[in-house]
């Protein structure tokens, strides 16, 4: 199956997943800025890798247009973010909410997506995002004493972290291999 991987990454964590996928699938990972280089008419499967920003998925507008213009195209979405992998403390519903904000279930009921924890690197953010995160940390510091989840988030995010793990790709790879 001809496969294309297009990724959107700000700090390199999503790119890392796209590169690992390209190794596994034997195809090149294309940066979002070069997405026009992908010949969708010759692609059977598009793997779109992106990240959660302000509770929505970067590049989703482009992907929705591609899916609308090419309804025969198989698409799988990989989303990364700072939220830990789903667990009792961090439910999958938080990831689902961000995904469905960009891809409402009424419009995209069968769009498969997978979540892999990314990371956070304040120094690699652009100016507006640095300012927004500075305000975010300041706002949340006030509630950290009362909310252990917020305290944990601040403890991990403020110094930055890389939460990427190649093994997080296993469910996505199993899904892709089941399509062939």
What are the tens digits of pLDDT across the range 24-71?
Answer: 999 999 999 999 999 999 999 999 999 988 778 999 999 999 999 999
* pLDDT band at residue 86 using 50, 70 and 90 as cut-offs: confident
pLDDT of residue 31: 98
Residue 95 has pLDDT above 90, yes or no: no
Quote the DSSP letter at residue 26: T
Question: How does pLDDT run across 105-139, given as a tens digit for each residue?
Answer: 999 999 999 999 999 999 999 899 899 999 999 99
Tokens 């609308």 correspond to 68
If you average pLDDT over residues 141-169, what whole number do you get?
92
Sign of the Cα torsion 158, 82, 117, 35 reads negative
Give the tokens for residue 93.
């519903």
Residues 149-165 have a mean pLDDT of 91
pLDDT band per the 50, 70, 90 thresholds, residue 76? very high
User: Which is more confidently placed, 73 or 90?
Assistant: 73
* Chain center to CA of 13: 9
**pTM of the predicted model, to two decimals?**
0.91
- Between β-strands 45-53 and 119-120, what pairing exists: parallel, antiparallel or unpaired? unpaired
DSSP H helix total and E strand total for the chain: 6, 8
Confirm if 41 and 68 have CB atoms less than 8 A apart.
Answer: no
How many Cα atoms occupy the beta-carbon half-sphere of 82 within 13 Å? 21
pLDDT at residue 88, as a whole number: 62
Residue 10 confidence (pLDDT): 93
Give the closest residue to 157 by CA, choosing from 132, 123, 110, 120.
120
DSSP states of 55-124 as a string?
A: TEETTHHHHHHHHHH-TT-EEEEEEEESSPSS-SSS-HHHHHHHHHHHS-TTT-TT--EEEEE-EE-GGG
């Amino acid at each position: 199956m001809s496969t294309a991987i297009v990724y959107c990454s700000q700090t390199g964590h999503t790119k890392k997943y796209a590169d690992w996928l390209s190794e596994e699938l034997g195809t090149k990972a294309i940066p979002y800025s070069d997405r026009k280089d992908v010949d969708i008419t010759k692609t059977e499967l598009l793997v779109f890798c992106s990240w959660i920003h302000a509770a929505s998925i970067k590049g989703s507008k482009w992907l929705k247009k591609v899916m609308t213009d090419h309804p025969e195209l198989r698409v799988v979405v990989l989303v990364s973010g700072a939220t830990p992998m789903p667990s009792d403390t961090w439910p999958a519903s938080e990831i689902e909410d961000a995904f469905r904000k960009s891809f409402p279930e009424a419009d995209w009921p069968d769009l498969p997506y997978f979540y892999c924890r990314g990371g956070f690197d304040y120094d690699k953010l652009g100016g507006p995002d640095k300012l927004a995160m500075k305000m975010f940390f300041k706002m949340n510091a006030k509630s950290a004493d009362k909310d252990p989840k917020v305290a944990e988030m601040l403890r991990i995010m403020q110094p930055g972290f890389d939460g990427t793990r190649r093994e997080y790709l296993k469910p996505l790879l199993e899904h892709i291999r089941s399509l062939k």
